[in-house]
Amino acid sequence: MWQPNNKAMKNNNNMNVTINKQDEKTLVVLDGRIDSTNADQFQQDVAPLMEGDNPDIEFDCSGMTYTSSQGLRVFLLLQKSVVARNGKMVLRDMNPRVKEVFDITGFSNIITIV
């Protein structure tokens, strides 16, 4: 079983992903853009979070400046995995422009955003 260990990953295409286990949940800090140049790497970075006994995930999105539809797809895959394991996924401190993308696409009705 994968256990996050204050793991920081840097995507070469303007996205940094930092994963920390905190108590009963996992905190993921996003910094930069999720777009067609790095969405696959973002999915690889968070793929271990789709398994294991600790399905509660909180994303700090304060540094996320953009997401494409490919980034939305990764969030949807994570959400489905979390729900299947009776967990909770929360995206917090989202930039208003990024939040608008989630609102327009209806993802804010699927994923908890605070």
Q: What is the pLDDT of residues 31-79, one digit of tens each?
A: 999 999 999 999 999 999 998 877 899 999 999 999 999 999 999 999 9
pLDDT at 29 over 90: yes
Chain mean pLDDT for the chain = 90
How confident is the model at residue 13, as a pLDDT?
Answer: 66
How confident is the model at residue 23, as a pLDDT?
Answer: 79
CATH superfamily of 7-113: STAS domain (3.30.750.24)
Domain ranges in the chain are: 7-113
pLDDT at 1 over 90: no
d(CA 95, CA 46) in angstroms, rounded, equals 21
26, HSE (Cβ side, Cα atoms, 13 Å): 29
Give the CA radius of gyration of the chain. 13
Instruction: Report the run of H or E that residue 65 belongs to, with start and end.
Output: strand 57-67
pLDDT at 12 over 60: no
pLDDT at 4 over 50: no
Residue type present at position 55? P
φ, ψ dihedrals at 84, nearest 5°: -65, -25
Residue type present at position 84? A
pLDDT at 99 over 70: yes
